[in-house]
Structure 1
Amino acid sequence: MGILLKEVTKENWYDCSCLEVFKEQEGIVAPNWNSIIVSLLWDNWNAKCIYEDDTLIGFMLYGVEEDTNRTILLRYMIDKEYQGKGLGKKAILKLFDLVKTEYGNIKFYTTASPTNMVAEKLYESVGFKKTGEIMWDENLMEIQL
């Protein structure tokens, strides 16, 4: 089976909201419950739980950002127990396929905090490149899908 991106449901939302990052990542990654609420209140955001087979390992929120009309990976996290195993990279590649299906061959964006070198390196490893633009005090990155 491998990596699966599944809808947030009444059965998995609580477990998703309990996923954790390392202490030093806490100020960088928004709480999953916050992102789940965003996806419920605004139609332009899609929340997905990340599974490896039947195990919940992470969360992502993507969609069209209202102010710029850019399709963007807004929130992304892998639980601390599953980081460093290559699963995050596989999940982003799976997201690329989903975004292409939903939006077509577009420019897709994400941001990375200048202090979060791990995230920046991960995004670069799947093809994102810095645009030179700062968005929300973070480096904007893009990839052509």
Structure 2
Amino acid sequence: MNIILTEVNEKNFWNVINLKSDLDQEKRIQIFERWVGSNTFFLAACQVYGFIPRAIYDGETLIGFASHGLNKETGRYELISLMLGHPFQGKGYGLPILKAVIDEMAEIYSCKEVYLSVIYNNEAAIRIYEKIGFKPTGEIEEGHHPEPIYRLDINEYLSQKI
């Protein structure tokens, strides 16, 4: 695996937009997919709120999308979205991608904590988040679905050997 995070630009924009997290989503245009908002939705959120969008590649193959930034409402650095295209799920990408995004956030923001929310029954994502070191805060974000909020202590994360 050669995980690379890059900007979303004119060359990869349509490919990022068309990357779906579920085969069933290939037939639909929706703002929210089963486990995550669409990449289109999060690209718009990045534009409005000043978050950073990232196309995720394995070498030259686009495999996912992420966005992160400072939530000005909460004052927290957040992993806003993380999605892996359905053809690449179940192939061991989850942990390396999450590590790459967290490493980038730690470098860019020099933050001490990273927060995220996840749909309460997305067990696969929750397992990966907890393996990295995210812990539930007990808070719930009320969005399209109720989503528990998780917190990662960057110092603890950096001291691990995952």
Q: Is TM > 0.5 for Structure 1 vs Structure 2?
A: yes
Partner of 2:37: 30
Partner of 1:9: 9
* 1:128-139 correspondence runs (5 A): 128-136=134-142, 137-139=146-148
Matched, 1:144 2:150: no
What secondary structure sits across from 1:114 in the alignment? coil
- Shift of residue 88, structure 1, vs aligned partner: 2.0
Cα distance per residue 1:27-53 (max 9 Å; x no partner): 33111112112222332x000000001
Identity, % of aligned pairs? 29
Q: Distance in 2 between matches of 1:92 and 1:142?
A: 14
- Shift of residue 122, structure 1, vs aligned partner: 1.5
Tell which structure's C-alpha radius of gyration is larger: 2
Matched, 1:101 2:110: no
* 1:61-140 correspondence runs (5 A): 61-136=67-142, 137-140=146-149
Q: Distance in 2 between matches of 1:123 and 1:51?
A: 20
Cα distance per residue 1:119-145 (max 9 Å; x no partner): 111111111111111123211001111
Higher RCO (C-alpha under 8 Å, 6+ residues apart): 1
- Shift of residue 2, structure 1, vs aligned partner: 0.6
Contact kept, 8 Å, 1:114 with 1:139, in 2: the verdict is yes
What RMSD in Å do the two structures reach over aligned CA positions? Answer: 1.7
Contact kept, 8 Å, 1:111 with 1:141, in 2: the verdict is yes
Q: Which moved more, 1:10-19 or 1:132-141?
A: 132-141
TM-score relative to the length of structure 2: 0.83
Contact kept, 8 Å, 1:105 with 1:144, in 2: the verdict is no
TM-score relative to the length of structure 1: 0.92
Unpaired runs of 5+ residues, structure 1, are: none
